Amino acid sequence: MSDDERDARFTALFDTHRDAVRAYVWRRDPDLADDVTAETFLVCWRRLDAVPAEPLPWLIGVARNVRLNHRRGELRRGRVAGRLRSEPAMSRDPAAAVGERDAIQAALRSLGERDREVLLLTAWDRLDRDAVAAVLGCTRANVAVRLLRARRRLARELAANGAGAGAGAETLFSHGGC
């Protein structure tokens, strides 16, 4: 690949996917969104030959690793004692204090981190199961199992919290097979 071709390919990837990558990070770590996005595309630039034909899962996988590395660094420095687990960003929204959002936030926290990530990659990042599997480095079948488990758990938690959204969730969520 010539230098011009590299530049053009990278520019296309960056322009097409930067918002999706940034949104992925922002949902989970708003403070890191721009830094992780920049680092992710720097990795992309340096490893352009390794970027597959379907680049978004690869990019999000890189972003996930970069973000987790940031988190580990923070943990080593003891700066996030109260944020040991990955928290979706909705808790930062003032509206999250009440109602449906609050209930969803609580329910999401009850999920295992891996199950929650499968669910959120599907719901928020709109990745299909193959893409989620690519991001997490697991099989499609594993994604399906985790997604089913996460939905059911989420429904139970919402119901247990008595949230408005959760009232019908048991039935709504229980038949969403993978």
Partner 1 sequence: MSDHAISLLRRHDPAAALRPLPEAEASAMREAILRSPTAEPRVRRPRWRLVLTTAAAVLLVGGATVYSSIPGDDDAPTVRREYAAVKRTIDLPSGVRWRPLDLPANAVFGRGYALQFAIAQAQCAWYGHWIASARAGDADGVARSYAEARGLRRRMPLHRAGQMEDAGGSTRGTLVATDRAVTAAHGGDFGPLRAFLKANC
Contact between 119 and partner 1 per CB under 8 A = yes
56, 66, 104, 118: residue in contact with partner 1 (rule CB under 8 A): 104
26, 138, 140, 160: residue in contact with partner 1 (rule CB under 8 A): 26
Contact between 141 and partner 1 per CB under 8 A = no
Q: Is 1 helix (H, G, I), strand (E, B) or coil?
A: coil
Contact between 89 and partner 1 per CB under 8 A = yes
Contact between 6 and partner 1 per CB under 8 A = yes
Contact between 10 and partner 1 per CB under 8 A = yes
Site stretch for partner 1 (CB under 8 A), options 62-70, 77-85, 138-146, 151-159: 151-159
Contact between 161 and partner 1 per CB under 8 A = no
b/e per residue 28-43 (b: at least 16 CB within 10 A): bbeebbeebbebbbeb
Helix axis angle, 3-28 relative to 55-76, nearest 10°? Answer: 60
Site stretch for partner 1 (CB under 8 A), options 17-25, 58-66, 76-84, 134-142: 17-25
Find all residues with CB under 8 Å of 58, minimum gap 6, and list them.
50, 51, 52, 134
Q: Which of 79, 65, 76, 66 minimizes the C-alpha distance to 38?
A: 66
The footprint of partner 1 on residues 28-57 (CB under 8 A) is: 30, 34, 37-38, 41-42, 45-48
DSSP 137: T
